[in-house]
Amino acid sequence: MNDFRLNEDLNASSANPIISRRQMLQIGGTALLGAALPSCATKGGPQTIRFASVLGQPRAKAIAQLIDGFHATHPHIRVEHIPIPWDLSHSKLITMFAGGNAPDVLTVHLQWMSEFRAMGAIENLLPFSNGLDSFVPLTPLAEQSSRLARAMDATGIYGIPLELSVRVMFYQLQWLEELGLKPADTRTQWRALLEKMTDKSLNRYGYAFRGGRAGYSSWWPICEEFAGTNQWFDQDHQCIINSPDHVAGLSYWNDIYQDGLAPKDALNWGYTELVQGFWSGICGCCEQDPEVLATCREHGMDESTLATALMPAGPKARVAIPGIFMLSMPSGSTKKDAAWEFISWASTADRNLAYCREVGIIPPIQQGLQDPMFSKGLYKPFMDMVTDPNILIDWAPNYLPEMGEFLELKTMEEQQKMLLKQQSPQETLDRLADYMTRAQKKYVDKYGPDTPRPPE
């Protein structure tokens, strides 16, 4: 049996390019998606392909090493790296697609895959390969997440996982020792820990709170911990993320900010601000991905000042949210053969492991499970979150094209209203559930009631 095991149940093809009216209004363009640009290769010289990466500055060195290695063995192709800041990434890519300015190779986050496929913006990689056997076997979690995100389905392969991330809790170790505390195992313990860490007279706060872009990634797992489920819809395709248990989870997160356990200006913090808030010593803890270990080290932290631990468990579950970045080929590329040469070269096991070790992030391939770098010290909680069978794995309906807008725009709009006390947690989730119910029913009307569900 092939290692990629396509999921035949994911039956929604992306034959018709789709872009939401809201996105088109935002980018203000009417260009055809995937429109091709003239080739920029110089006659007789190496062909240049553009690689757009949304992976952020911590990975710049690893990407440069990857590209240098490719250049050494492929002198006929030059790779131009185009870094895109994470906080601007989704809107920037939508603009590039709509304007006919797509790169040749692209890193795609799993939560965008269905949206980009529905736009007709991502190429199927199977025709460029020698079949499924040419792909490196993935870890169970990486494979499951890729299938559910529609990077793999019955129609082909639209992204090859480059890296796998999962979050653990980061702690200021010296704060814990000063206060006689240990990393919290439950959310009840964690709330008490935040209260003890917070001392406004010293400009100390318990939690590096993410009130701005992608704050959803902090509060949503808490909702799942309180609800004990990763389901989004009932049998009638009604969204259930506004259940009493989910509301209790969101209220727990909202109370952390309202009760002053995070800096007031964290209302607008995104990834960069919260990480800085932690390593600078303003905040005692944050949840983050493994590559943030390198950032902490760059700012003087080490095993004597930093601790990592499993994410606290809620009343009904401990939850892991896997994040995967994939190498994909935009359908608008005019240099697909050269793009495939780079993608296939970079996706071999040895190069993937070398990249992940340089970045300090969990490899998505099976060989990475035995890598000693990730089995001890500060990395061990990450591997435990990936491999513990008792942890509830987050699932999201990424087959819905509207998920991109939901995650990038709707959740931030509604959470900000809540944090500003313009609406309650119940009203916040009611609005988001209504949006998702409409998206689900639109999908069912088009493809039928047999929609993807979380794995058992």
Supply the pLDDT for residue 13.
35
Return the DSSP state at 136. P
Tens digit of each residue's pLDDT (9 = 90 or more) over 185-221: 999 999 999 999 999 999 999 999 999 988 999 999 9
**Residue 424 within a domain:** yes
Q: 148 vs 253, which has greater pLDDT? A: 253
40 against 78, higher pLDDT: 78
Phi-psi region of 281 (alpha: psi -120 to 50; beta: other; left: phi over 0): left
Mean predicted confidence (pLDDT) in 110-139 = 87
Q: In what order do the strands lie in the sheet with 77-83?
A: 77-83, 47-53, 105-109, 323-328, 160-165
Instruction: Specify if 413 maps to a domain.
Output: yes
Checking phi first, is residue 396 left (phi over 0); if not, alpha (psi -120 to 50) or beta? beta
Q: Are residues 115 and 158 in the same domain?
A: yes
Q: Are residues 404 and 426 in the same domain?
A: yes
Q: How many structural domains is the chain composed of?
A: 2
pLDDT at site 7: 34
Least confident of 122-126, 134-138, 200-204: 134-138
pLDDT of residue 132: 67
More confident residue, 75 or 24: 75
pTM of the model: 0.80
Closest CA to 396 of 217, 182, 142: 217
In a domain, 119, yes or no: yes
Q: Worst-scoring range by mean pLDDT, 100-109, 276-285, 336-345, 394-403?
A: 394-403
- Higher pLDDT: 39 or 412? It is 412
Q: Which amino acid is at 113?
A: M
Comparing 125 with 213, the larger pLDDT belongs to 125
Q: What is the mean pLDDT of residues 31-52?
A: 60
pLDDT tens, position by position, 264-283: 999 999 999 999 999 999 99
State the number of CA atoms in the 13 A half-sphere of 104 facing the CB. 25
Q: What is the pLDDT of residues 416-446, one digit of tens each?
A: 999 999 999 999 999 999 999 999 999 999 9
Are 137 and 87 in the same domain?
yes
Give domain status of residue 70, yes or no: yes
Quote the CA–CA distance of 401 and 443 in Å, as a whole number: 9
Count the neighbouring beta carbons within 10 Å of the beta carbon of residue 22: 11
Distance CA(38)–CA(140), nearest Å, equals 41
Establish if 85 belongs to a structural domain. Answer: yes
DSSP string across 57-93: GGGHHHHHHHHHHHHHH-TTEEEEEEE--GGGHHHHH
pLDDT score recorded for residue 439: 97
Query: Which residue, of 388, 410, 441, is where some domain finishes?
Result: 388
**What integer pLDDT is reported at residue 44 of this predicted model?**
64
Measured distance CA(117)–CA(127) in Å, rounded: 16
Q: What are phi and psi of 200, to 5 degrees?
A: -65, -25
Where is pLDDT greater, at 374 or 328? 328
Q: What's the pLDDT at 356?
A: 93
Residue 447 falls within a domain, yes or no?
Answer: yes
Whether residue 45 sits in one domain with residue 154: yes
408 and 384 both lie in a single domain = no
Residues 377 and 399 in one domain: no
Task: Report which of residues 134 and 322 the model is more confident about.
Answer: 322
Dihedral sign computed on CA atoms, order 174, 175, 179, 185: negative
What's 150's domain CATH number?
Answer: 3.40.190.10
On whether residue 73 sits in a domain, the answer given is yes
Residue pair 34/93 in contact (Cβ under 8 Å)? The answer is no
**396 and 266 within one domain:** yes
9 part of a folded domain: no
Lowest average pLDDT, out of 122-126, 228-232, 341-345, 392-396, goes to 392-396
Smallest CA-to-CA distance from 135 within 112, 158, 119, 113 is with 158
Pair 150, 211 in one domain: no
Q: Do both 117 and 214 map to the same domain? A: no
Q: What percent of the chain has pLDDT over 70?
A: 89
Share above pLDDT 90 across residues of the chain, in percent, rounded to a whole number: 68
- Give residue 40's pLDDT band: very low, low, confident or very high (50, 70, 90): very low
Note down the domain range covering 138. 41-165+322-388
- What is the overall mean pLDDT for the chain? 88
Does residue 38 surpass a pLDDT of 50? no
Predicted confidence at residue 154, as pLDDT, reads: 77
pLDDT at 197: 98
What is the pLDDT at residue 14? 35
Reply yes or no on whether the pLDDT at 101 is more than 60.
yes
421 and 348 belong to one structural domain: no
> Is the same domain home to 442 and 331?
no
| Range in 21-35, 41-55, 204-218, 265-279 with the lowest mean pLDDT | 21-35
Which of 13-27, 247-261, 360-374 shows the lowest per-residue confidence on average (mean pLDDT)?
13-27
Select from 370, 388, 406 the last residue of a domain: 388
- Where a domain ends, among 354, 371, 388? 388
What pLDDT does 456 receive? Answer: 60
State the DSSP code for 394: P
Residues 108 and 54 in one domain: yes
